[in-house]
Amino acid sequence: MDAEQFREHAHKMVDFIADYYKTIENFPVLSQVQPGYLHNMLPDSAPNHPESLDDIFNDVQAKILPGVTHWQSPNYFAYYPSNSSIAGFLGEMLSAGLNIVGFSWITSPAATELEMIVLDWLAKLLKLPDEFLSAGQGGGVIQGTASEAVLVVLLAARDKVLRRLGKNALEKIVVYASDQTHSAVQKACQIAGIHPENCRLLKTESSTNYALSPDILCEAIAHDVAIGLVPFFLCATVGTTSSTAVDPLLALGKIAKSNGMWFHVDAAYAGSACICPEYRQYIDGVEEADSFNMNAHKWFLTNFDCSALWVKDRTALVQSLSTNPEFLKNKASQANMVVDYKDWQIPLGRRFRSLKLWMVLRLYGIENLQCYIRNHIKLAEHFEGLVAQDPRFEVVTPRIFSLVCFRLLPPRNNEDNGNKLNNDLLEAINSTGKIFISHTVLSGKYILRFAVGAPLTEERHVTAAWKVLQDEASALLGRL
Ligand code: PLP
């Protein structure tokens, strides 16, 4: 690597990215290309000889950017946000620059130790119980995604129960979650070999705002125990993907504990809000949890990927995931003096991701991060108010964080058309390229989701988005 060539190229890249952010509103938010669009625009094989960076930039402009959905656009309101920030970007850059592979402490002591420290900082900010801190038996680790986080704790919980019951009990062990739980839990069960018929996705209803009912959980557990099955894992969610439902952690955790189950809390999206004292109540009861996860790459200004996972008993993870081949042996590991994060995750290799989170916490500070969250929630409240003022629409579930679930009411209360009408509205809105929103289905009804959370979004973007929605709704209703 030639340092001067790097300097020249990297400066060009920074300029390119800075200009991208400056002009991001000029692009259609949702990419409007058709499947396979890129195939005919690029050669069939890699070049034999080097090409210039300028030529590549030209291709990025002409061929790549049209196929990009602009997650960082201020007019992006789909799924959940995936924040970038200057701090996150700088951390990512430094991580790419150092390009270490920090699987064991010895492979870069700073990578392991900074990760432990930064996750302790974040745990304290979230007021997680002390057992999640690295000073005791627990600690935090950065996973790539919430899906990996739930998989590793499920494996730890599975092995813990199988050590007690014997390996042949695999077909008897049961996982519980609500039907609003992210499909990552189902995927984790598939990978962990949990029998598909032993994965209980318990029904939720609008009367509990789609939160898991402790009574329904108790009934399911009692039924399973009566037929000789063994409950071993419960996943609760704070801020479900469809509608930000919040499961009652305290009650659920107590049930899990009294049945000897591992209790995991998935706060992938809403966990970030809990750094504000007024939203911390939504994770009350986390004291009962064995593990807790939030995605700093969603709503915490940390560029993808950075999913923070804490466990109370790190030994359980290590017992499931550690290997100790000769070629990785070293004095510090053998003497048990250090954390080797390779034993807390699926892959061996791992990036220096804590740099991003460290940069975010230091360059912004807690007060700014709290303001950032509050501002998005205020913008969502603003949007909710606009929807409520238009009698053609309804807000479907009470808004808690920065997601508004709403729908266009079918004319003459004809529910037969309601789902198609809202699907048509979604398609019409997203094909304008002006904004991008997504959908879900709750109690059989097709619902539109408006998630505020892109770092550049201001009130004027939310107001303009509502105008796009109203105009498209008027056009659609006019055609009926
Ligand atoms: N859990 C919840 C509540 C989510 O909303 C999501 C994604 O939106 C996930 C888990 C999965 O996240 P990841 O892509 O980090 O696996």
What are 174-188's pLDDT values in tens digits?
Answer: 999 999 999 999 999
282 lines ligand 1 (CB under 6 A): no
Average of per-residue pLDDT across 239-265: 98
Are 56 and 440 in contact by the 8 Å Cβ rule? The answer is no
Alpha-carbon distance of 138 to 299, in angstroms, equals 25
145 lines ligand 1 (CB under 6 A): yes
What would the DSSP string read from start to end of 47-69?
Answer: -SS---HHHHHHHIIIIIGGG--
Distances (CA, A) of 435 to 243, 326, 420: 20, 54, 20
Ligand 1 atom closest to 307 (CA): 15
Backbone angles phi, psi at 187, to 5 degrees: -65, -40
Are 376 and 137 in contact by the 8 Å Cβ rule? The answer is no
Closest CA to 299 of 403, 386, 404, 185: 403
266 lines ligand 1 (CB under 6 A): yes
Distance between Cα 105 and ligand 1 center (Å): 29
> What is the tens place of the pLDDT at every residue in 278-329?
999 999 999 999 999 999 999 999 999 999 999 999 999 999 999 999 999 9
Distance between Cα 298 and ligand 1 center (Å): 9
147 lines ligand 1 (CB under 6 A): yes
* Pocket probe mutation, ligand 1, options 71, 147, 210, 212, max atoms within 8 Å of Cβ: 147
Element (H, E) at 340: none
> What is the tens place of the pLDDT at every residue in 224-240?
999 999 999 999 999 99
Ligand 1 atom closest to 241 (CA): 5
Closest CA to 158 of 176, 144, 175, 179: 175
Predicted pLDDT at 408: 98
75 lines ligand 1 (CB under 6 A): no
Predicted pLDDT at 221: 98
* Chain centroid offset of residue 286 CA: 18
438 lines ligand 1 (CB under 6 A): no
440 lines ligand 1 (CB under 6 A): no
313 lines ligand 1 (CB under 6 A): no
Alpha-carbon distance of 8 to 27, in angstroms, equals 27
Distance between Cα 160 and ligand 1 center (Å): 25
Ligand 1 atom closest to 295 (CA): 15
The pTM score is 0.97
* Pocket probe mutation, ligand 1, options 295, 300, 345, 353, max atoms within 8 Å of Cβ: 295
What's the length of the chain? 480
Q: Is the pLDDT of residue 96 over 90?
A: yes
Element (H, E) at 383: helix 354-389
Average of per-residue pLDDT across 407-433: 95
> What is the tens place of the pLDDT at every residue in 423-469?
999 999 999 999 999 999 999 999 999 999 999 999 999 999 999 99
Q: What's the pLDDT band for 415 if we cut at 50, 70, 90?
A: confident
Q: Is the pLDDT of residue 1 over 80?
A: no
Distance between Cα 477 and ligand 1 center (Å): 35
Distance between Cα 266 and ligand 1 center (Å): 8
Non-local CB neighbours of 415 within 8 Å, separated by 6+ positions: none
269 lines ligand 1 (CB under 6 A): yes
Cβ atoms < 10 Å from Cβ of 338: 18
* Pocket probe mutation, ligand 1, options 247, 266, 309, max atoms within 8 Å of Cβ: 266
> What is the tens place of the pLDDT at every residue in 60-94?
999 999 999 999 999 999 999 999 999 999 999 99
Distance between Cα 146 and ligand 1 center (Å): 5
Are 451 and 77 in contact by the 8 Å Cβ rule? The answer is yes
Distance between Cα 295 and ligand 1 center (Å): 8
Average of per-residue pLDDT across 189-211: 97
Q: Which long-range contacts (CB under 8 A, 24 or more apart) does 90-96 make?
A: 90/359, 90/363, 91/302, 91/303, 91/355, 91/356, 91/357, 91/358, 91/359, 91/360, 92/303, 92/355, 92/356, 94/352, 94/355, 94/359, 95/351, 95/352, 95/353, 95/355, 95/356
268 lines ligand 1 (CB under 6 A): yes
Backbone angles phi, psi at 120, to 5 degrees: -65, -45
> What is the tens place of the pLDDT at every residue in 138-185?
999 999 999 999 999 999 999 999 999 999 999 999 999 999 999 999
Tell the residue number behind the tokens 């808004």, with chain if given: 399
401 lines ligand 1 (CB under 6 A): no
184 lines ligand 1 (CB under 6 A): yes
295 lines ligand 1 (CB under 6 A): yes
Predicted pLDDT at 301: 98
Predicted pLDDT at 480: 80
What would the DSSP string read from start to end of 160-210?
Answer: HHHHHH-GGGGGGEEEEEETTS-HHHHHHHHHHT--GGGEEEE---GGGTT
Average of per-residue pLDDT across 241-259: 98
* Pocket probe mutation, ligand 1, options 241, 294, 297, max atoms within 8 Å of Cβ: 241
What are the tokens at 282? 């939504």
Predicted pLDDT at 28: 97
Task: Give bridge partners of residue 266 from the DSSP assignment.
Answer: 237, 293
